[in-house]
Structure 1
Amino acid sequence: MGVVTALAGIGDAAFWAALLAKMGASAAIVVLASLAVERAGPLVGAMIATLPLSAGPAYTFLALDHDAAFLRDSAVASLPAIAATALFIATYAGAARRHGVAASLAAALAVWIAAALLLNRLGGGLWIAGLVTTLVILACIGACRSFRAGGPLPGRPKRAGDVLVRAGIVMALVVAVVLAGRLAGPGAAGILAFAPVVMVSLAVILHPRIGGAATATVLTLSLPGLLGFVAALVALALTIERFGPALALPLALVINVGWNGGILLASRPRRRHAVPPPRPPSLETDS
């Protein structure tokens, strides 16, 4: 009966009007952010990529359609998706140095789907999911250590179709999340909300233009930023029912942004106290 009601709501014109608005808003956010990624350098770009560019709007729209308990369950279900994204990045980074974008993406997405489904079946609640996700991310950081070295991104020509690719990917995700939330419940919605949309967009755009090695550098530099997602989701799950979406969602955003900002500050080279150069020997002699 619930599925019939959900299907009836999907057929309503107001539903599709709201969905189109959600698709447009989310696409605009991710397109603008991914353009910034390409101009900010590998580390800054990686930290931008691990902001909740697609998940944030997805959770905001879920909050408009569902209650706090639904969002809490979605947050717990999102944690395995974060672990799967770490495995996606590790797989792509390893494949991109030897293969093209299509083969690398196919392998990485297959790993993401399998990992998200498998880890989601483990259960255990919020704390077990958070611990497992953290351990997976740390393992991927260690495994990808050799891929992190890299200088500034090489120059690349602009292509008008890039914007359409990025917009199309994120709009497809918004549709999937909204429909999953209505038809399949919080588990599917939570997993899809953290599908690696930004990572896929960056791979599709950057790999053909700057090469697989440089793209692998950008993606692997984003792995520490995924730990900010874990902290934000745990905070969201703990606060959403007590404080409501109006406070819990901004708090999760602040945690995520603060974590990435801390990584950037910690990565800044420390300025050493300048040692004054020795004075040249005086030409004057003592009389």
Structure 2
Amino acid sequence: MLSVLLAKLLATAAVVVGVSLAVGKLGPRLGGIIAGTPIVLGPGYFFMLQEHSPAFIQAAALSTLHALVATLLFSMSFVVTAGRLSALASLAIATLCWVPAALLFSRVHGGVGVAVLMYLAMLLLAEGVRRALRLAQPVIVARSGWFDLLLRGLLAGVLVSVATTLAVRSGPLLSGMLVGFPVGLFTIGWTLHERYGADVARATVSMAQKGMLSLVAFGVVTATLVGHAPPMVVFLLSLLASMAVSAMLFLISQWQFRRAWARRRDAIGP
């Protein structure tokens, strides 16, 4: 059992660190797309798809979608509190919001469609909070140091190994919730707050909210196709769907940036 846990921990940590390094090396276009890939969900479901039944995976994927709805509440809590409290205090409050919210949302009936509608409604609320706070766009290009990468990889590895080995004894609900915990937002919020200040951390976390739609796509495809296609085909199609959504979001953001720049240039005149 211990060797299995360790193998999954190291494999997941290697994927997380490797993808994070690739994001910084490939430039903004490819890096932005890869950054939206499910670097924690991916390893988690890679293991679960090989080890558990379609019914288990389907229930776990639905639990993960509910956990992602709770993650929006996590991000809103951090954005609201980080301006007045320390990084760890804000993250503690955000986590205390995430846990009961994930459990509560998991009690909602209706399947994948209802979970997606819940996510979109919460995303609208999060966007309203962001606009009400008038958060500025971060102007600092924050590069991850080795401490950041190793911390993120270690936390992700622990979550995935526990969720896919120990938590499965409690059923798919807990497994799906654990792999849906916002490891990325937790470490990003912590390190950016400590290194660059609350404004940069709050703006960055708020900007990640739309990007989480790629994780929703991964969960939806997994829950829909499992049992109807071989496990690795389900995994690859889920990964492709996630990357397609991430690419679309990146292209939309580029178009919006160019449009805003053109308006500003026209307003200034020749």
Q: Which of 82, 94, 118 is 1:108 aligned to?
A: 94
Q: Displacement, 1:165? A: 2.3
CA contact (8 A) 2:56 2:172 kept: yes
Structure 1 partner of 2:73: 87
CA contact (8 A) 2:38 2:214 kept: no
Aligned residues: 261
The DSSP-based 3-state class of the residue aligned with 1:122 is coil
Q: Structure 2 counterpart of 1:152, which letter?
A: V
Instruction: State the alpha-carbon separation in 1 of the partners of residues 129 and 223 from structure 2.
Output: 30
CA contact (8 A) 2:78 2:93 kept: yes
Q: Which of 169, 176, 199 is 1:183 aligned to?
A: 169
Instruction: State the alpha-carbon separation in 2 of the partners of residues 103 and 47 from structure 1.
Output: 31
Structure 2 partner of 1:27: 13
Structure 2 partner of 1:270: 258
**Higher mean C-alpha displacement, 127-136 vs 57-66:** 127-136
Q: Displacement, 1:105? A: 0.5
Instruction: State the alpha-carbon separation in 2 of the partners of residues 166 and 241 from structure 1.
Output: 32
Q: Structure 2 counterpart of 1:168, which letter?
A: L
Instruction: State the alpha-carbon separation in 1 of the partners of residues 157 and 39 from structure 2.
Output: 12
CA contact (8 A) 1:81 1:191 kept: yes
Q: Displacement, 1:17? A: 2.3
**Higher mean C-alpha displacement, 187-196 vs 141-150:** 141-150
> Cα 1:215–1:43, aligned 2, differ >3 Å: closer, same or farther?
farther
Structure 1 partner of 2:52: 66
Structure 2 partner of 1:222: 208
The structure having more radius of gyration, on CA atoms, is 1
Q: Which of 153, 165, 168 is 2:140 aligned to?
A: 153
Structure 2 partner of 1:195: 181
Q: Displacement, 1:107? A: 0.8
TM-score by length of 1: 0.80
Q: Structure 1 counterpart of 2:54, which letter?
A: A
Structure 2 partner of 1:231: 217
Structure 1 partner of 2:192: 206
> Cα 1:56–1:157, aligned 2, differ >3 Å: closer, same or farther?
closer
CA contact (8 A) 1:137 1:227 kept: no
Q: What is the CA deviation profile of residues 205-259 of structure 1, one whole-angstrom value per residue up to 9, with x for unaligned ones? A: 2221111110111111111122232233222211111112221111111111111
> Cα 1:40–1:84, aligned 2, differ >3 Å: closer, same or farther?
farther
Q: What is the CA deviation profile of residues 44-86 of structure 1, one whole-angstrom value per residue up to 9, with x for unaligned ones? A: 9886554201111001111121122211111111111000111
Q: Displacement, 1:124? A: 2.4
Structure 2 partner of 1:12: none
Instruction: State the alpha-carbon separation in 1 of the partners of residues 144 and 226 from structure 2.
Output: 44
> Cα 1:187–1:247, aligned 2, differ >3 Å: closer, same or farther?
same
TM-score by length of 2: 0.85
CA contact (8 A) 1:79 1:233 kept: yes
Structure 2 partner of 1:140: 126
Q: Which of 75, 80, 83 is 2:61 aligned to?
A: 75
**Higher mean C-alpha displacement, 122-131 vs 245-254:** 122-131
CA contact (8 A) 2:148 2:187 kept: no
CA contact (8 A) 2:222 2:238 kept: yes
Identity %: 32
Gaps of 5+ in 2: none
Measured on the aligned residues, the alpha-carbon RMSD in Å equals 3.0
